[in-house]
Each structure stands twice: as structure tokens, then as C-alpha cells.
């Protein structure tokens, strides 16, 4: 996903007094101007939300199965062998 953002993109919003005071106090500790502080805060929160929603969770049983399959891989099927041969053909013919 590609989003074209220019420096001219602006965001206007209203802020209650309590939130504005909290922002000013926090901003003073990190020594950022309002714009940089808001951008940094939005980005940090957005990354945290995206990470939470896009992570993969495994149960203990999933982990055991995963590592068992790594330790004891199954034999390749005929279809897998054909795919590996086709891959070799493609990569060898495209090698420089």
C-alpha cells in the first residue's frame, strides 16, 4: 500500500484543555515542537496498533507442532519435486 504524503498535508483538530496541558508537559520533557511531537505520537501509536492487529499468535500446541516439523520434516511429494526442478530451470536460465 502506497500513500503519497506531501509536507503540505495538514491535520486540524480540536483538543480539550486537559489533553493540551498533558501534551505541553510531555513535550517539554522531550524538547520537541508541537508539530513534531504530534507526528511522533501519532506514528508511535499507529505502529503499536498495527503491530497488535497484524501479529500472529500461536498456541503452545502450535509451537510444538512447528518445531516438530522442523526437526522431523516429511518427505517431499512428487509435486514438490517437480516444483523444485522447475525453480532450478528458471533460476539457472536467468543467471548472469
pLDDT tens figures, 11-33:
888 999 999 999 999 999 999 99
Burial bucket for residue 78 (CB in 10 Å: 0-12, 13-18, 19+): exposed
Question: Average pLDDT of the chain?
Answer: 91
Per-residue pLDDT tens digits for 27-86: 999 999 999 999 999 999 999 999 999 998 899 999 999 999 999 999 999 999 999 999
Rounded distance between C-alpha atoms, residue 10 and residue 24, angstroms: 20
Is 34:27 a contact under the CB 8 Å cutoff? yes
pTM of the model: 0.54
Amino acid at each position: 500500500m502506497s500513500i503519497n504524503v506531501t509536507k503540505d498535508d495538514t491535520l486540524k483538530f480540536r483538543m480539550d484543555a486537559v489533553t493540551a496541558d498533558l501534551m505541553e508537559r510531555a513535550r517539554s520533557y522531550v524538547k520537541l515542537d508541537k508539530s513534531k511531537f504530534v507526528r511522533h505520537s501519532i506514528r508511535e501509536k499507529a505502529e503499536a496498533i498495527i503491530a497488535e492487529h497484524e501479529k500472529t499468535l500461536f498456541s503452545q500446541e502450535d509451537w510444538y507442532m512447528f518445531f516438530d516439523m522442523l526437526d522431523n520434516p516429511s518427505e517431499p511429494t512428487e509435486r514438490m519435486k517437480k516444483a523444485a526442478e522447475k525453480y532450478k530451470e528458471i533460476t539457472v536460465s536467468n543467471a548472469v
